[in-house]
Amino acid sequence: MTTDDGQLELHRSPALAKDQSYVLGVLTADELKRVLFPIGASADKAMVRAEAEARGLSVANKPDSYDICFIPEGDTAEWLAEKVGVAPGVIEDREGNVVGEHQGAHLFTVGQRKGLHLGRPATDGKPRFVLEVRPKENKVIVGPHSALAITALSGQRYSWCGAAPMDAVNWFDCQVQVRAHGEALDAKARLSVGADGDLQLEVSLKEPVFGVASGQTAVLYQGTRVLGQCTIDSTVSA
């Protein structure tokens, strides 16, 4: 949409179940000038299917895709093992104790619980989750669910989707979403100087979010408007 002063803005779809604004948050102000969204607010997926059927298009009844659509049967681990191979390594707890083995750190994601096959139970008897994946060391670090709680994150690779917030070096209220179909959580953000002297987008959450890893995208919103995004470089635990 275009504001009264001529600024272009990207907003969530009114059909929230199919909203794709999270993956479009990387668009810049210049790119928005050259992008068209012909459906916009005028139709939901059911209406699009009806239009396709009326025009005799075979995709009208194509099933919705879930997970990673190009991976057969949705077996991500098997697909990665076939394409990347296996690389045996160890699973450690936060104290550095070896509690299991794996066939490749690339087969695990932060927050994962299933498929760990740990040889040593936790001392408290509670389930353990992947807290960290260290590809250079080929290690997987596990621990309690509480250790997945993140209260802040930051990233140097950031961009604004349209006009940048005024005075962005000071904290401003927003919502942040860290997964494509995750919940947008209340937060505040600002531009700050990182440890290496470069600017970074810093986000502080009002309530913890669980299972966030470096490399994920954090997209900022103000209401329905997509404000900007960053690739997460670091997180702060609760």
Neighbouring CB atoms inside 10 A of 66's CB total: 7
Is the four-CA dihedral 130, 24, 26, 151 of positive or negative sign?
negative
- Look at residue 72 in the predicted model and tell me its pLDDT: 64
Q: In the predicted model, is pLDDT for residue 4 greater than 70?
A: no
Q: In the predicted model, is pLDDT for residue 67 greater than 70?
A: no
Least confident of 14-18, 33-37, 42-46, 163-167: 42-46
Between residues 121 and 31, the one the model is more confident about: 31
What is the pLDDT confidence band of residue 196, given thresholds at 50, 70 and 90? confident
- Regarding pTM above 0.85, the answer is no
- How is the chain split into domains, by residue range? 1-41+146-238, 88-143
What is the pLDDT confidence band of residue 43, given thresholds at 50, 70 and 90? low
What homologous superfamily does CATH list for 1-41+146-238? Translation factors (2.40.30.10)
- Look at residue 141 in the predicted model and tell me its pLDDT: 95
Tell me which H or E stretch contains 233.
none
Q: In the predicted model, is pLDDT for residue 189 greater than 80?
A: yes
Do the domains at 1-41+146-238 and 88-143 have one common CATH topology?
A: no
Nearest Cα neighbor of 227 from 4, 76, 14, 25 is 25
**Whether CATH 2.30.30 fits 88-143:** yes
